Amino acid sequence: MAQMQCKYGLFEVSGNRGHAAESLRLYGEFAERQLVTMLRFVEPHSVVVDIGADVGARAVALARYVQNAGRVHALEMRGEVADILKANVARNFLQDAVAVQEVSEEAAGSSGAALWGAFESEELPAVDLVHVGRGVAVSPSMMFGPASGTVRRCRPVICIDLANVQDGEAWLAAAKRERYTVFGHVAFAFNPENYRCYTENVYGDACDRMLILVPDGDGARFDTQDLLAVASPENLGDVSQNPPAQTGGTSSPAISGHLAPWTPMRETAAATIDNSFIPPYEVVCSKSELHIVVPFYKKEELVPQLFNSLNAISDELRRLDAKVFFYNDSPDYAPLQAALEGCCFDDPAISFEVITNESNQGFIGTCNRAFARAKAARAAVVLLNSDTIVFPGALSEMLDVAALDPMIGFVSPRSNNATIATLPYSSLDQDVAPQRGYAAFLQTASTLPRYSFVPTAVGFCLLIKWTVHSELGGFDPVYGTGYNEENDLVMRANRCGYSAVLANRAFVWHMGEQSFAESSRAKAAREAKNAPVLHARYPEYPQLVHAYFASPEFRAETLIEYAGGKDGQLVYAFDFSSFGPYFNGTFESGIKLLEAAVRTWPRHCKIAVYMQKAAWDFHGLARFEGVARLEVDGQSEKVTAIVRIGQPFDVDAMSRLVNRAPVVGIFMLDTIAYDCGYLSLNFDARIWHFALRHIDVLFTNSRFTLDRITNRFAIGPAVIQKVSPHSLDIREYGSPVEKRDEDESHIFVIGNHFNHKFVRPTVDAIAAAFPNERIVAVGYGDKPSPHANVKAFQAGHLSDEEFEKFYSNACAVVFPSHYEGFGFPVLHALARRRPIYVRDSALYRELAAGTEGAENIHFFCTMEDLISDIRDNGMHWTTPRTTGERGGWDRSAREVFASMEEARRTVRYGTLVNRLRQFDQLRLALSGGGNVAPTPGKWVGMRVDAGVQRVLRVPGMKPLARRCWHLARRLRNRRRGNQ
């Protein structure tokens, strides 16, 4: 029996076990692209039924996603495959998450009928998704017939392999009758980014094809935009014949294992490598055998768990030509000797020996004795702490990784509790059971490269090549009873060019502080004694360790854990860090979107907000139950995904995004700050160039805004672009106001102090043209108006009640801005049944296309046009002829969640590393330091400058600052005159 570590766990892959087992053996995964599509219909608490589960490739993968709150029911015909299915579930500790049912074919006459009948017989109270695997023939009459009580009662999403669909028209008719919408999904069977990074494509152009039946009432819950709607036999033919579309972030690379015909010339040239000579790495100083060395000191209770884990992988040990040595370093302690002598491998071919030291040699002395034996045998050594459990495949993977590069001298596996080797890192020093530690490891390890270079390896489980310990010696006795001895050896070898790596596909569980240590106090004492010795010998060591923990690779590793939800909890956050205790359109859009997210996002996703306490209180966000406020400057506040509302204007804003979540989205509302020269001086455009190349999702509130962005900036090839307009439902902006207070009747001109809003020139022109009309102006500026019929207000600090009065008593609203990304005043005016005058632009034409009351949007090109229109046609309300959008904020919130979920499902470690590395370069460049970090004084100056710039962006602050500056100059000049 051969079992292998795969993307979602351990699987038996020996013999001829069929398509799934062969895919697991070669690629470590099975139909991964199809699985990713199915997962959009699965939540952590879902109940999933896998009919025709085969060896469990699907069932085990789905169990990792439904987690402890969910359940997977795996059905397979009784026989050898079902036995392997049960074994695979058990070896992954998933008996509580996966219920396996063996089915007999005798009664039903066919496997499809038998499996479906078994599913119906379970009478499950709830089912969220049913997957019908390959080779399971299920007819629509069987699925939707009189006996199909579960489907009719639970209304699950149904995924069925297209090869099982015999009568397409019958399926479509049945789906329509049962109120299901049918979609098709096609994906290349070969995944170039497979778990094992195996480049040979054994599938050629073969595709996995699937029909997905979604209950009509659930369409809004799921992201189906990229799926092919199947409403006719012709559509069904498209799914059967067409290759998958090469679009967006899910594009398929070359499907044949070679460069595709459309590969650009530069990539073709880059792919041409001189293979005329390949160095014979495998024959250089090759080992003759492997020694597995475990020193024991008392603690006899540790012996059974470690030995049992080694006994369980006897076939692996035999294949590696491994010899196992248990060293007893407490010869006078009878319980340990008895425990060691009781160990006996089930496979007599395994070379196993218990060696008892004549006297206590200590950990270092015992290991050096083992090194001497290994040197004589030209054997590589794997040192194991006695408080470990070795999982299948770990030793093989460590040796395979060591063979990938002749300058790799040391390899450690990943673990639940092993300092730098801990994965996920948040489990360090936590009490984690072996199966839970392994499950957490799987969630993160599948996204990492096969191995990672690190400044040092970890002694709990350490592979040392025989040439390294033979040439450079073992552990230095200067380190006494231990701690830092392995770091000394690694650094000694590193000065000769040898590196240490972590094998990211190997897992060894570690209890921690049990093998030779007596207490944490003893550890601290040994560390305090030995660390100065190590640092004096190798002053580069602490610098290398610090550089590693600050590296993009390690930071990406800590972030990737959150993609699947830390401790199973997905947290989606809004970045409101730029929101202040005042009002503007950006804040309005963000808060409305948050409110809709609370209503529409799945309950298993926690919602959080990065926001200053003063702004949180001012806007009253505590009213949203279950929404958590996260500190803007809290370095440990990491989440699954983060959406920033509004453009980032400083490097700190970008840092809060890229260092806090593996999935980053930005709602870019407009490009005004880039296009208006006087505004562009307040920020560095390199921040936007970086963001638009490296974020995951670019949201815009209009197609007009997206076009402005793409005309100015290069968008990264993996960036999902999503136009999600703010709500066009006028009912969500206010209620109709039939009458107005004639004594307060006025023309309402709205904007702010920025020049592009064009409030002052517009107000002055209207006031001069219509001296008998009252004019209320928001955003007029500080200087008083020369016209008596103008009443001006400063933008940003007016209450909702005051704005309501301005709109309600308006005979018309004028929004004269030259440049907008959306235009909330349009919706506010129409909601209260007030005509509104705006500049004729593609943006407002876009809004008018989906808005009720668009007949009352009046377009003008110049101020003369505006005044002529008011004078010639008057200001009146026209009854709308059609209704517009309904529930727009809910629609936008669902679009945001679907796009962020798509990004989360496809997040990649390499992408995160590149993003963080490029951000570090950006921060360095913006510091003005080239390759030199800024001095403390310069750093403080930059922080103060950034703070001042943020303050000056608050409405009204620039004029106030200007007046203060003029006053200060007058006072200074007065003092000089008195001297």
- Per DSSP, the three-state class of 447 is coil
What's the order of all strands across the beta sheet hosting 628-630? 628-630, 605-610, 570-575, 641-645, 663-668, 697-700, 720-723
Estimate the share of the chain in helix, then strand, then coil, as percent rounded to the nearest 5.
Answer: 45, 20, 40
Greater confidence (146 vs 129) lies with 129
Euclidean distance between CA atoms 917 and 834, whole angstroms: 52
Given a contact cutoff of 8 angstroms between Cβ atoms, the answer to whether 726 and 589 are in contact is: yes
**Mean pLDDT, rounded, for 806-819:** 95
Q: Distance of CA 899 to CAs 136, 698, 892, Å?
A: 33, 9, 11
Euclidean distance between CA atoms 21 and 23, whole angstroms: 5
Euclidean distance between CA atoms 143 and 133, whole angstroms: 14
Instruction: Report which residue type is found at 317.
Output: L
Report the CATH superfamily, name and number, of domain 730-886.
Answer: Glycogen Phosphorylase B; (3.40.50.2000)
When pLDDT is cut at 50, 70 and 90, the band that residue 934 belongs to is very low
Greater confidence (92 vs 952) lies with 92
Report the CATH superfamily, name and number, of domain 564-722.
Answer: Glycogen Phosphorylase B; (3.40.50.2000)
Instruction: Report which residue type is found at 621.
Output: L
Lowest-confidence segment of 548-562, 563-577, 964-978 by average pLDDT: 964-978
Percent over 70 (pLDDT), the chain: 88
Euclidean distance between CA atoms 579 and 695, whole angstroms: 21
Structure tokens at 396: 């093989």
Instruction: Provide CATH 3.90.550.10 ranges for the chain.
Output: 286-549
**Mean pLDDT, rounded, for 395-423:** 95
Q: Is the pLDDT of residue 966 over 70?
A: no
Residue linked to tokens 């948040």: 426
Greater confidence (947 vs 797) lies with 797
Euclidean distance between CA atoms 968 and 979, whole angstroms: 17
**Mean pLDDT, rounded, for 236-253:** 55
Euclidean distance between CA atoms 441 and 561, whole angstroms: 9
Query: Whole-prediction pTM value?
Result: 0.81
Give the pLDDT confidence score for residue 79 in this predicted structure: 87
Give the pLDDT confidence score for residue 375 in this predicted structure: 95
When pLDDT is cut at 50, 70 and 90, the band that residue 266 belongs to is very low
What pLDDT digit, counting tens, does each position of 708-742 carry? 999 999 999 999 999 999 999 999 999 998 777 87
Q: Is the pLDDT of residue 939 over 90?
A: no
pLDDT averaged over the chain?
88
Instruction: Provide CATH 3.40.50.2000 ranges for the chain.
Output: 564-722, 730-886
When pLDDT is cut at 50, 70 and 90, the band that residue 171 belongs to is confident
What pLDDT digit, counting tens, does each position of 503-527 carry? 999 999 999 765 554 545 667 788 8
Tell me which residue of 105, 539, 64, 3 sits closest to 315, measured CA to CA. Answer: 3
Q: Is the pLDDT of residue 492 over 70?
A: yes
Structure tokens at 635: 């370095």
What pLDDT digit, counting tens, does each position of 634-658 carry? 777 899 999 999 999 999 999 999 9
The helix (run of H) or strand (run of E) holding residue 653 is helix 651-658
Percent over 90 (pLDDT), the chain: 66
Is the backbone of residue 267 left (phi > 0), alpha (psi -120 to 50) or beta?
alpha
The helix (run of H) or strand (run of E) holding residue 698 is strand 697-700
Euclidean distance between CA atoms 711 and 922, whole angstroms: 22
Give the pLDDT confidence score for residue 796 in this predicted structure: 75
| Residue 218 CB partners (closer than 8 Å, separation 6+) | 155, 157
Give the pLDDT confidence score for residue 279 in this predicted structure: 65
Given a contact cutoff of 8 angstroms between Cβ atoms, the answer to whether 915 and 50 are in contact is: no
What's the order of all strands across the beta sheet hosting 836-839? 790-793, 775-778, 746-750, 810-815, 836-839, 857-860
Report the CATH superfamily, name and number, of domain 286-549.
Answer: Spore Coat Polysaccharide Biosynthesis Protein SpsA; Chain A (3.90.550.10)
E strands, 420-578, in order: 451-454, 461-464, 499-510, 570-575
Give the pLDDT confidence score for residue 252 in this predicted structure: 38
Give the pLDDT confidence score for residue 969 in this predicted structure: 61
CA 818 centroid distance within chain: 38
**Mean pLDDT, rounded, for 661-679:** 94
Quick one: fold of 3-248?
A: Rossmann fold (3.40.50)
Q: Is the pLDDT of residue 619 over 90?
A: yes
Three-state DSSP string of 728-771: CCHHHCCCCCCCCCHHHCEEEEECCCCHHHCHHHHHHHHHHHCC
Q: Is the pLDDT of residue 971 over 60?
A: yes
Q: Is the pLDDT of residue 137 over 70?
A: yes
What pLDDT digit, counting tens, does each position of 576-616 carry? 999 999 888 889 899 999 999 999 999 889 999 999 999 99
Q: Is the pLDDT of residue 253 over 50?
A: no
Length of the chain in terms of residues written: 979
Strand partners, 454: 500
Instruction: Provide CATH 3.40.50.150 ranges for the chain.
Output: 3-248
